[in-house]
C-alpha cells in the first residue's frame, strides 16, 4: 500500500478502530485514537476514564506507555509503506511522569523524517539500526504530563 493510502486509513476513525480491534485490542479497549498523523508527526489521544485509570484517579502508566508507543510506531509504519520488508521492534522504553494525569492526554512525536531516514539507512546497509524517539504527553491545557522515550530497532528482512 502506498504511504498516502496508509495515512488516510490511519486517520479514519472507523478504519483505525478496526485496525486496533484486529492488531491491538488492549489499545482499542483503552480508547486510544489518532488525533493526527502524517509523515512527520503523529498525535495520539488517550481518554481519561475507567478503562485507562488507576486506583489513584490518574491515568495508568501502562496506558500512557501504549499511547506513546503508538505515536512513534505509526510514524515507522508509515515510513515502511512501499519499501522492502523491514522488521521493527521496541527494545527499550523510558518514562518521566511530570504531572498527575487526571484528564485526557495527547501524546505527540514529531520525528517522522528521522524515522524515515533511519529506516532507509537500515535498508541501504543491510544492518540493523536503533532509534530513540521522544513522545510527549500533554494535558488539555498544554501542560506536559509525561515524557516517554521509545527505542526502536529496524532491520531489513
- Write out the three cell numbers for 99: 504531572
Contact 155, 86 (CB under 8 A): yes
CB-side neighbour CA atoms (13 Å) of 1: 11
Contact 58, 102 (CB under 8 A): yes
pLDDT in tens, 26-54: 999 999 999 999 999 999 999 999 999 99
d(CA 51, CA 104): 12
Q: Which CATH number fits domain 3-156: 1.20.1260.10, 1.10.10.10, 3.10.129.10, 3.40.50.300?
A: 3.10.129.10
Contact 122, 86 (CB under 8 A): yes
pTM beyond 0.75: the answer is yes
Segments making up each domain of the chain, as ranges: 3-156
Q: Quick one: DSSP state of residue 45? A: E
Nearest to 92 by CA among 151, 49, 51, 139: 151
Nearest to 69 by CA among 95, 36, 103: 95
pLDDT in tens, 121-156: 999 999 999 999 999 999 999 999 999 999 999 999
d(CA 118, CA 12): 27
Residue 114 reports pLDDT greater than 90: yes
Mean pLDDT of the chain: 96
Amino acid at each position: 500500500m502506498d504511504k498516502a493510502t496508509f495515512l488516510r486509513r490511519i486517520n479514519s476513525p472507523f478504519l483505525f478502530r478496526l485496525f486496533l480491534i484486529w492488531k491491538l485490542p488492549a489499545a482499542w479497549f483503552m480508547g486510544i485514537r489518532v488525533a493526527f498523523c502524517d509523515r512527520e508527526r503523529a498525535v495520539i489521544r488517550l481518554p481519561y476514564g475507567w478503562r485507562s485509570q488507576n486506583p489513584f484517579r490518574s491515568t495508568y502508566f501502562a496506558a500512557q506507555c501504549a499511547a506513546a508507543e503508538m505515536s512513534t510506531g505509526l510514524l515507522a509504519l508509515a515510513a515502511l509503506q512501499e519499501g522492502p520488508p523491514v522488521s521493527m521492534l521496541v527494545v527499550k522504553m523510558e518514562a518521566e511522569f511530570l504531572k498527575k494525569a487526571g484528564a485526557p492526554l495527547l501524546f505527540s512525536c514529531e520525528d517522522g523524517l528521522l524515522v524515515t531516514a533511519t529506516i532507509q539507512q537500515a535498508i541501504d546497509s543491510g544492518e540493523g539500526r536503533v532509534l530513540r524517539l521522544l513522545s510527549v504527553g500533554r494535558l488539555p491545557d498544554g501542560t506536559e504530563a509525561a515524557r516517554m522515550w521509545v527505542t526502536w530497532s529496524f532491520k531489513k528482512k
